[in-house]
A and B are shown apart, each in its own frame.
Chain A
């Protein structure tokens, strides 16, 4: 049995945003430990929630799912942290738009919202851009590891 499609989608998104100009290979899936100065600028990828409904018509039960995947960009920079997070957002949006079906794991994916926050509490300013992508995909009820 392969992995849950949700995991496959998260892996695919992490792969798609790896190697971008600003964040490079500093891409972390479902990270739970704090970031260090030497691990930024960085991208964090989380699958945070999922709405689902089951089609009760037809020969087999199918679950329609809408997954929220959050891609967060972190910047620690003295001078241009606001510009940096916008650059990160640009690079992520271009990468995500180039693979809207996520290698046919999903029917469609799109950016549903972006939030930006700043903090001056530490030794250098921290800026965070949080991009929420909605990913629509389908599986058979008894086969959540196989995209339909």
Chain B
């Protein structure tokens, strides 16, 4: 049984709260604006002997907006600035690496950050060899 109206979900992602508007572009589709919560907390990736400083970018959004999202779709975020106008993080683009619906109206999406313009090919979200899924755009 549902417990929330659509307006309740809108409140969760209000840009006056924790939400942020971003551009979502499905592979081969048109860009739309959606409101999501972006988390990118510090994460140390385990290496062999040494770790690597990194983060784990994850967005949370309405399943209504993102139910058809899939591996390789792109999100573009504006720069993160403080109230004084100082840039905390530059504008960034991300590609989807995994879509994780909670089946109650929300979806968590894990991302990989792009530093060059690339297209992720492939349909399988749970890929084990990502190397074959990337094709660099000239």
B-binding residues in A (CB < 8 A):
31-37, 40, 44, 46, 70, 72, 74, 76, 78-83, 115, 117-126, 128, 130
Contact = CB atoms under 8 A, between A and B. Distances in A.
B6 to A, nearest CB: 32
Interface residues of B, number: 29
B136 A34 contact: no
B100 interface: no
B80 interface: no
A78 B49 contact: no
Interface stretch (B12-20, B60-68, B108-116): B108-116
Nearest to B57: A123
A80 to B, nearest CB: 7
A79 B116 contact: yes
B104 interface: no
The main secondary structure of chain B at its interface with chain A is strand
A125 B50 contact: no
A40 B54 CA distance: 12
Contacts of A74: 47, 50, 52
A124 B131 contact: no
B84 interface: no
Given A34-B50, A121-B54, 16 more contacts: A35-B47, A35-B50, A44-B50, A74-B47, A78-B114, A78-B118, A79-B134, A80-B131, A83-B131, A115-B48, A117-B47, A120-B112, A121-B46, A122-B55, A123-B111, A124-B113
B116 A78 contact: yes
B45 interface: yes
B3 to A, nearest CB: 33
Interface string B97-126: 100000000000001111110100000000
A31 B52 contact: no
B112 A34 contact: no
A126 B112 contact: no
Nearest to B131: A82
B51 interface: yes
Given A117-B48, A123-B112, A81 B53 contact: no
